[in-house]
Amino acid sequence: MNNSEFRLPSAEGEAQRYSEFYIDPHIHMTARTTYDYIIMRESGIVATIEPAFWLGQPRTHVGTFQDYFNSLVGWERFRASQFGIQHYCTIGINPKEANNEALAEAVMELLPLYVCKEGVVAIGEIGYDDQTPAEDKYFRRQLELAKELDMLVLIHTPHRNKKAGTSRSMDACVEHGLDPARVIIDHNNEETVREVLDRGFWAAFTIYPQTKMGNARMVEIVKQHGCDRIIVDSSADWGMSDPLAVPKTAQLMRERGIPETYVRAVCYENALAAYSQSGQIQETDWLASDAIDQRQMFNGNSVLRGQEPTVRSSRECILIE
Amino acid sequence: MTTTQVSTSDLIYSWLERHVDRAGLNWLEEKRSQIARGAAVKVFFTAFSATPRYTGKNSLQLTLSDLQAAAIARKGWFPMNWSVDRAARILLVLALPQDDESQYLQTLEQVFTAADIGELVALYQALPLLSYPKQLKARAAEGVRSNMTDVFNAVALQNPYPAEYFDNLAWNQMILKALFVGSPLHLIQGLDRRANPELAKMLVDYASERQAANRSVSPELWELVKKSKVKS
Ligand SMILES: [Zn+2]
């Protein structure tokens, strides 16, 4: 793709053929409530990927990391299944906490217990935060692990000094012999997207109010760069974030004339294509499964009983600034 | 112990041969021998997790004569509902060197502690085949406390371990929880043999609590109350 503005095909003839399904390929459900799962499913989200990250304050013991990983592959997956959502995750030590080297070393010892489990689609989210030597060391050691185990990688790009940090992350991946087609670079913006796509990586965008991308900007990015290898996610977590960011962005794209095939690509198909390279996620996981597995009960009671979700009110405003 | 170990592993392998292709079997054989020769635990951990990628997840589809062979190799062993991936995972666990008891138990504890649902089911189903079974009582009781029904059932149903090793307190809690989560009592091994008066009292209390709340009571409960009283 060259630098001239990408020309959109006509949206006519595409009208109303809306995608029924969305994937949110980056969301921290551990920080979200059961109500969120209900409205996400109501809004068409069939699968989520939960990357291992930090929890808002640094952990002080390796045991809390282990319990966190356990919840990602165990309880959270089970909880999601109660609401008809397939839950996948990535495992890794995030850059912020890599700065506690004694702890990071202990977490590195844990990783082989988790990274090959079912539903673990990548090593991540890893990369740079303050771009310290310790961050660089554990980033590279995890790239080596990904190489050794033939795994995909999810990269968290820094909030500060983003453009340089993003280039440097990609340089490290290439230096360690990883195929760009097996690396997802997340939290992109208008400044980073061109280089990421040109170098053959997947470019993910986080629709997160105020600090990351707004979805009106996302519409412009798709208008300019097309839909190839572009992925939309919410990164919703314990902060001011929106678990419906993916369906809301899809809706805004449609309203602003983006063709349905593009919407489907960036809000569903591309995430599936990127992460299905792991062999750990496939469309049949949700197409073939009973939408909600109520055979599995929590203490003999389905968590769903007696709840009548009201979805519309939360969808009133689709614009995320 | 050693002869039993050999024959249970051989049996499992012979069942896997019917379902797993040559490449998968080669992978499994390579990992088993690396683990048996004392390879770094990382080899065991990653292979244990990655097993379904090489074996698939079909049912083992055991025949009556397979089940008879199982019961001869290990009394009470009844792998009726085992799947291919779980059987292959158990084969890897059985390959762990067992001479050093504390090392063996530590490795088992690590893999239990990090296990996802599918792995937990495999590990709990393997309880009757593992070495140093007395040392695994607390771990088995932990499985009974699980909120995930599949995990609970892996310990409680079609498994000779609880009847052989649980004390009355753990046994009675397991029976009560089986009723609570709706697991069929008739699939619990040793139900008659382990019936006891305390259990009868707990069951009657539970039944009256249910009736007071206008909830139904499983007929299996009353059968077990009868047996438990007869024994007292
Ligand atoms: Zn994140």
pLDDT tens digits, chain A, 321 residues: what are they? 343 344 444 444 433 344 579 999 999 999 999 999 999 999 999 999 999 999 888 899 999 999 999 999 998 998 999 899 999 999 999 999 999 999 999 999 999 999 999 999 999 999 999 999 999 999 999 999 999 999 999 999 998 999 999 999 999 999 999 999 999 999 999 999 999 999 999 999 999 887 778 889 999 999 999 999 999 999 999 998 999 999 999 999 999 999 999 999 999 999 999 999 999 999 999 988 654 544 444 434 444 434 443 333 345 566 777
Burial class (CB in 10 A: 0-12, 13-18, 19+), A302: middle
Answer whether A118 sits within 8 Å of B150, measured CB to CB. Answer: no
Q: Are A118 and A147 in contact (CB under 8 A)?
A: no
CB A190 within 8 A of CB A160: no
Q: Is A59 on the interface with B (CB under 8 A)?
A: no
Give yes or no for a cis peptide into B209 (omega within 30° of 0).
no
CA-nearest residue of chain B to A110?
B114
B49: Cβ–Cβ under 8 A, 6 or more apart, which residues? A113, A114, A115, A116, A117, A118, B119
Contact B182 A300 (CB under 8 A): yes
Q: What is the pLDDT of residue A300?
A: 41
Chain A: residue whose CA lies nearest to B144: A299
Tell which residue, A192, A183, A259, A194, has the closest CA to residue A19: A259
- The number of beta carbons lying within 10 Å of the beta carbon of residue B126 is 25
Kindly report the backbone phi and psi dihedral angles of residue A27, in degrees, each rounded to the nearest multiple of 5, phi listed first. -155, 135
- A112 contacts in B (CB within 8 Å)? 42, 45-46
Complex ipTM tops 0.90? no
* Burial (0-12, 13-18, 19+ Cβ within 10 Å), B118: buried
- How far apart CA A118 and CA A101 sit, in angstroms, is 29
End-to-end alpha-carbon separation of chain B, Å?
35
Give yes or no for a contact between A243 and A234, defined as CB atoms under 8 angstroms apart: yes
Name the residue in chain B with its Cα closest to that of A119. B116
Which of A82, A87, A109, A117 is the mutation pick for testing B, counting most B CBs within 10 A?
Answer: A117
Cβ contact, residue pair A113, B52, below 8 Å:
no
A119 interfaces chain B, CB cutoff of 8 Å? yes
Of A105, A203, A87, give the one whose Cα is nearest residue A155: A203
- Nearest one of A71, A76, A185 to A127, comparing CA atoms: A185
CB contact under 8 A, A77 and B116: yes
Nearest residue in chain A measured CA to CA from B53: A279
Strands (E), A36-192: 45-51, 86-91, 120-127, 153-156, 183-186
Question: Per-10-residue mean pLDDT for chain B, 232 residues long?
Answer: 65 96 97 95 94 94 95 94 96 96 96 94 97 96 91 96 96 95 94 93 94 90 86 57
Residue B59 per-residue DSSP state: B
CB distance B117–A74 less than 8 Å?
yes
Closest to B125 measured CA to CA, from B89, B97, B177, B168: B89
Q: A186 - beta bridge partners?
A: A156
Minimal Cβ distance to A118: which of B45, B47, B116: B116
Rounded distance from Cα A234 to ligand 1 centre (Å)? 9
A299 touches chain B (CB under 8 A): yes
DSSP E strands: which ranges in A157-210?
A: 183-186, 202-206
Provide residues of B within 8 Å CB-CB of chain A. 42, 45-47, 49-50, 52-53, 110-111, 113-119, 147-150, 180-182
Supply the pLDDT for residue A176.
98
- A206 touches A187 (CB < 8 A): yes
Across the interface, of B50, B117, B118, the residue whose CB is closest to A116 is B50
Picking from B46, B117, B118, the nearest residue to A112 by CB comes out as B46
CA–CA gap between residue A304 and residue A241 (Å, rounded): 24
Sign of the torsion formed by the C-alpha atoms of A95, A96, A100 and A106: negative
pLDDT at B147: 83
Output the pLDDT for position A41.
95
Contacts of A298 (CB under 8 A, 6+ apart): A82, B147
Tokens at A235, concatenated: 């990164």
In this predicted structure, what is the pLDDT of residue A10?
Answer: 43
The pTM (predicted TM-score) of the whole model is 0.83
pLDDT of residue A319: 74
Q: What is the predicted pLDDT for the residue at A200? A: 98
CA distance A79 to A87: 9
User: What are the chain A neighbours of B113 within 8 Å (beta carbons)?
Assistant: 66, 70
Residue-level pLDDT at A214:
87
CA A75 to chain CA centroid, Å, is: 19
**Residue A302: its pLDDT value, please?**
42
Q: Give yes or no for A148 touching B (CB within 8 A).
A: no
The predicted structure's pLDDT at residue A320 = 74
Q: Give me the residue label for tokens 């001479």.
A: B99
CB contact (8 A) between residue B52 and residue A115: no
Indicate which of B43, B44, B46 best probes the interface with A, i.e. most A CBs within 10 Å of its own CB: B46
Please tell me the distance in Å from A73's CA to the nearest CA on chain B.
6
* Contact of B108 with B133, CB cutoff 8 Å: no
Give the count of Cβ contacts less than 8 A between chain A and B: 55
